[in-house]
Amino acid sequence: MTTRELSIVDFEAGSETPRTIGLGTTNGGPGKDAASNPALSAVRSVAPSGVEGNRRPRIKPFPSVPESRSTEIATEKARRERRHALVLPREHGAWGLLLVPMVTGAGVAFRESDHVLPILLLLTAALALFWLRTPVESLLGTFAIRAQSKDERRAVAIVIAGLGVVAVLTLGTLLWAGRNPALWLIGAAAAAAFVGQALLKKLGRRARMLSEIVGTIGLTASGPAAYYVVTGKFGATAWMLWLANLIFAGNQIHYVQLRIHTARIEGLRAKLAHGWAFAAGQLAMTAALTLACLAGLLPQVASLAFAPLLFRGWFYFIQKPAPLVVRKLGWNELKHAVAFCVLFIAAFAWAQ
């Protein structure tokens, strides 16, 4: 039995001088080399057919420049998307729930006053505070996406500081020297609603719908707040704006959840069995609007702003089955929000 020193010959890049790479030793004849020395077996596995012994193995080339560049681009894109997710609000529908009441409140208020600066300050403050929630959650780690590295935490902290400064300056201007004192009460009510929403979320999926409705109470507070800062009055009209926007937003939330959870259900009877709560909500909305109009809190013509919502809701139970496209559903609800703003403001202008 013989002992042989195993090696392969390789060439360094840019050099014609060979170098010997030792692979150890093996005992026995040629037939036992691969079994007794895994290194030699690995060399043979990558060598061209018919190449044995000290012949140079085939070496996988390095990635080409375009491949490396595409990998860098993909990595940078992933990092950029993650940075955005850490600081940008993820609930896109909540933007509408915040802005629609503010637009309707300002539109109704401009019948009585033309003070533009207060509504601009309130809009800036509301957007800053709403935006502030996401980076705070990312920094505290209370959401699925959290800031992990030192650079991420620093970037999130910078966004929090900037938004905090904007919110403090705008709210400070609105509340300076004791002005707009009712904003404290509206803000406290909104904060209580958001705390209640957070507590309900801890109960899990069974309380998801209720938590969204409670959170909507806080978001729709922007309607009476907008009316108040423009007119300086917080009376029946302000309460009516809060209630009307809450009814509208609640109907939208309930409808979207119904469509998602009954996407594969067909037939009127089956839809009513699963959507009876939504149908009851449609009836309750009709009753509430009727009472508001009879009490003089809402101009009768303003009830037309809810007509598209009522039609869309009842039509769901009899429409033909069709695949649910969530993006299309979102755009349709955005159209309903725009129509509601236009019709609601136009109704008050007509009533005047």
pLDDT in tens, 23-45: 444 444 444 444 445 444 544 44
**Residue 7: helix, strand or coil by DSSP?**
strand
Whether 6 and 23 have beta carbons less than 8 Å apart is answered as yes
What CA–CA distance (Å, rounded) separates 70 from 332? Answer: 37
From 141, 134, 142, select the one nearest 160 (Cα to Cα).
Answer: 134
pLDDT band at 60 (very low <50, low <70, confident <90, very high): low
More confident residue, 40 or 352: 352
DSSP state of 149: S
| Strand, coil or helix: 88 | coil
Token representation of residue 202: 């801890």
| Least confident segment among 176-180, 200-204, 230-234 | 200-204
User: What pLDDT does 175 receive?
Assistant: 92
pLDDT for 220 equals 93
